[in-house]
Structure 1
Amino acid sequence: MTATTVEALNRGYTPEVAPIHITAPLSREVRSTYRSWRTQILYSVIIGYAAYYLLRQNFSMAIPGMMEDLGYTKIELGWVVTMWSIVYGIGKFVNGFLSDRSNARIFMPAGLLLSAVVCLCMGFMDTLWAIGFLWMFNGWFQSMGWPPAARLVTHWFSPTELGMKWALCSSSHQIGGAIISVFAGYLIVHYGWRSAFYIPALLAIGVAFFLYNRLRDRPQDLGLPPVEEYKGDVRHVSDEYEERVTLKDVIHQVLGNKLVWYMGFANLCLYIPRMGIFVWAPTFLKEIKGTGLLEAGWQVGGFEIAGLAGGLMAGWLSDRFFGGRRGPVGVFFLIGLAASIGLLWAIPAGYPLLDLVALMLAGYLVYGPQILAGVASADFASKKAVGVANGFIGTLAYLGSGIAGVGIGYVVESYGWAGGFTLFIASSLIGAFFFLLVWNRRAKVLEDQGA
């Protein structure tokens, strides 16, 4: 191939052949630097997004104490959760777009710092309107966390390893959720529900400064080549090296992409049981199973920890055995989730170990599809639009989360917990259907290159 031909290909001159990015082998020093930074980015994202969860799940743990101390009902506090979910969902889309046009090193810690300030104020509130108003602000700042994290992982890890690396970064959901479930339970029992807002906020402020010190937006900021050159595993078309998303990209690659919509609807469905358990499990375990709040915290912590393993397994299976196809694993996991939720409901009161097993099984099976939906949206869009694609499916997901707030509160108040569990099971099965629609689909770049 002549130099002129290579130059023409890189300009996109020949429409029949995807332009090829030709690179020389990287030096040992560059590869060593790359490995070190990839490790640093990976653990920093995990720690950073886990800290976001310290300022989110604390409200769920505080609900029983707020009901007793302030006299609010499930429906009233459910509205707070729903309004948080609506604001968070809208924020995921808007901040997804903004994060793709921003520096993740600044964007991610800024959201954490602002969320911590809100949580500090929450501990002083008594009136429902003030609690709801502040928690909506928290929803917006919380939505600044995952879009830049998604941008970081897709810029530092290549498509052929993305399933497993995404799952590792997403383990932050379970790590943070498990820590705050146990930690907030301890704080509330010993120091009251307000302490579950004060103490996590102070810890998160320290993590925000840690993130600014450790993160870098992309390899090119350090004089390193794009990750595809480091891995040498994909021949990319030239526009994959454009780094900032445009409105045209949003319309074409995200809003006009039916595959991204399928993953958005799947995310909406799976978030109903995921957030339903996340928000209401402590109340359900206390009212129906007779479990103490501290023990319920440990059981919900088990749900989160098992989710960590489920997410890693789902990512590994989709990479290793399905060639980057996320659909099959999502289908199997969501069908299993429906069965595990039925099991949790069927266990009679007085068997806390069995409750823990059922919750862990549900956590294992719900977090796998959640991770795969995010990976698939990145697969079906492009690297430069990953933040907005994830923000978009996150917006739909938190419509499901909104249903899990006031919707579950209303259903349980009107029809009992049996009604709530029926909704969880039906949502899981509908989510499996949307994963079925992408059964044979893989990342666009892998399809284009025949990898």
Structure 2
Amino acid sequence: MEDGAMRRAKSRVNEFVLIYMGYMTFLAARKSYGFWLPSVLTTLQVSRGEAGVLGSSFEFVYGGCALLNGVLIDMASPKLLLVGGLLLSSCVCIGISMSSSLPVMVALWAFHGLVQSVGWPSVTNVFLAWFPDPATRGAWYSLLSTCQNAGAATVPLVLSFAMNYYGWKAALYVPAVSCVMMAMVLLLCLHGSPAAAQTYHGGARGLSREPSSNAVRRPPSVSLLINTVLFNKSLWLMGVNYFCISMVRTCLSDWSAVFLPESKGLSLPAAASALFFMETGGFVGSLAAGWISDRLFAGRRGPVVCICSSMIAPGLLGLRLVKAPLLIQACYFYIGFCAFPVHVLLGLFSREVVPPSVGSSAGGFVKCIAQAGGAFAGLPLGALQQRAGWDGVLCVLAGMGILSGCCALPLWGVVAGENKIMARNGSVADFANMQPRQHAD
């Protein structure tokens, strides 16, 4: 008979695989935008600036909800949030495929920002429940974060192949079907926490897999939020840094299917291949980021964030000059390798410079600013491209890379606490025992 420790280890791996694949599917619905956008430009005969409203609306709603939905994510079941989010993402994709009105598409894609904003926090809550000890979960968290790279790398290849045979609406149908299928898998197979798994395996047949937790996290006071989050210089520096990095990443992800064929003469499959290399570089960089910050900088995130941010500008300027497909792919790999470690580390870094009771609020605050950067990659950069061309866009993005490095430089010496974080049924209250060793105001 399988003992309890072996069963828990097996369940933990199963849960990890499920949330990894679940968020990859979430991302497929989100990353399809860059592939159906060119056809929207042609079909609806709208300008790039007008079409850019689609991307901007998504980013603004996503960012606002990332700041405000912490209470919902704390109270609701992460399993049900993931299942419901996948089903709603599928509905959005189908709705856009049936629409011929830009305002309707904008409304649907903005609503999609709300749906997507619960995805990663819910995945993180499940992860924290199964990996409560930070001394052993660092490598697992780095591996989990690569689901974003793996998903974003797979999506261009799959969608470009499907679009060659079934037209541009395949970029919406494929994610829609995938989301429904994954939602059913999570509904049937995901537990959500060790307590839920224990109830399922040890209780009578038909029992709910969701844990019943009566513990309620007390919300922080308004004065504490103002003093430690809104007036925290470190968080503002992280936010501006993340704004710039998000602007670069979102622009390349959303506009490469238009930029590379127009400016570099690449086919759509070749453009998808370049995005694949960017995500592959991000995959490698994400895995390396945590290890480097722990081993080479004694747990300090600032040096890695600063170095990686500063290295982005040369890649963007190089992309402006090169023409050969192989060199373009190399530039995309390099940019992904530099940009994604910043994305991975700032989510944790923002929680390490504030008191534990406002950790989630700090993370949401920085993420909200980052989404504003992503929003600027829509309408503003679309309008800039019409006036200054793609060379002008790349120069602006290179400037954003330089600014991000300057913002990260004052964070070089900030060191986080090392207290063990205890999990509580997949809630963000896992951060309740974290104490910062040094608080940078």
Measured at CA, do residues 35 and 430 of structure 1 come closer, stay the same or move farther in structure 2, by a change above 3 Å?
farther
What amino acid does structure 1 have at the position aligned with 2:19? V
Say whether 1:74 aligns with 2:65: no
CA contact (8 A) 2:220 2:358 kept: no
Partner of 1:366: 339
What per-residue deviation string (whole Å, max 9, x for no partner) do you get for residues 111-137 of structure 1? 122111111111111111111111111
CA contact (8 A) 1:163 1:372 kept: no
Partner of 1:148: 122
What per-residue deviation string (whole Å, max 9, x for no partner) do you get for residues 86-105 of structure 1? 11111212223321232212
Deviates more, 1:159-168 or 1:42-51: 159-168
Structure 2 matches for 1:212-251, cutoff 5 A?
212-222=187-197, 244=217, 246-248=219-221
Partner of 1:423: 396
Measured at CA, do residues 434 and 164 of structure 1 come closer, stay the same or move farther in structure 2, by a change above 3 Å?
farther
**Structure 1 residue 402 displacement after superposition:** 0.8
Partner SS state of residue 408, structure 1: helix
**Structure 1 residue 436 displacement after superposition:** 2.3
Aligned length: 406
**Structure 1 residue 33 displacement after superposition:** 4.0
Say whether 1:116 aligns with 2:128: no
Partner of 1:204: 179
Q: Paired residue for 2:59, among 85, 100, 109?
A: 85
Distance in 1 (alpha carbons) for counterparts of 2:44 and 2:63: 28
Partner SS state of residue 390, structure 1: helix
**Structure 1 residue 389 displacement after superposition:** 3.7
Identity of aligned residues (%): 27
Say whether 1:283 aligns with 2:283: no
Say whether 1:46 aligns with 2:29: no
Deviates more, 1:188-197 or 1:275-284: 188-197
CA contact (8 A) 2:249 2:339 kept: yes
Partner of 1:25: none
Q: Paired residue for 2:304, among 326, 329, 335?
A: 329
Distance in 2 (alpha carbons) for counterparts of 1:188 and 1:384: 47
Partner of 1:188: 163
Partner SS state of residue 440, structure 1: coil
Structure 2 matches for 1:249-268, cutoff 5 A?
254-255=229-230, 257-268=232-243
**Structure 1 residue 247 displacement after superposition:** 4.1
Partner of 1:293: 268
CA contact (8 A) 2:355 2:436 kept: no
Partner of 1:402: 375
CA contact (8 A) 2:355 2:435 kept: no
What amino acid does structure 1 have at the position aligned with 2:391? A
Partner of 1:378: 351
What amino acid does structure 1 have at the position aligned with 2:335? A
Partner of 1:98: 72
Distance in 2 (alpha carbons) for counterparts of 1:211 and 1:387: 25
What per-residue deviation string (whole Å, max 9, x for no partner) do you get for residues 177-225 of structure 1? 112111111222221111211121111111122223444444455569x
Partner of 1:230: none
Distance in 2 (alpha carbons) for counterparts of 1:214 and 1:370: 30
Measured at CA, do residues 319 and 45 of structure 1 come closer, stay the same or move farther in structure 2, by a change above 3 Å?
farther
**Structure 1 residue 110 displacement after superposition:** 1.6
CA contact (8 A) 1:166 1:371 kept: no
Q: Paired residue for 1:354, among 320, 323, 327?
A: 327
Q: Paired residue for 2:293, among 300, 308, 318?
A: 318
What amino acid does structure 2 have at the position aligned with 1:363? G
What amino acid does structure 2 have at the position aligned with 1:306? G
Q: Structure 1: give runs of 5+ residues left out of the alignment.
A: 1-27, 225-241
Q: Paired residue for 1:177, among 145, 152, 164?
A: 152
What per-residue deviation string (whole Å, max 9, x for no partner) do you get for residues 397-450 of structure 1? 110001111111011111111221122112112222333232222333449597
TM score, norm. by length of structure 2: 0.85
Partner SS state of residue 64, structure 2: helix
**Structure 1 residue 292 displacement after superposition:** 0.8
Distance in 2 (alpha carbons) for counterparts of 1:155 and 1:313: 24
Partner of 1:10: none
Partner of 1:433: 406
Partner SS state of residue 416, structure 1: helix
Partner of 1:63: 37
Q: Structure 2: give runs of 5+ residues left out of the alignment.
A: 200-214, 420-433
| Alignment root-mean-square deviation, CA | 2.6
What per-residue deviation string (whole Å, max 9, x for no partner) do you get for residues 238-257 of structure 1? xxxx7635143755664454
Distance in 2 (alpha carbons) for counterparts of 1:130 and 1:264: 31
CA contact (8 A) 1:55 1:119 kept: yes
Partner SS state of residue 116, structure 1: helix
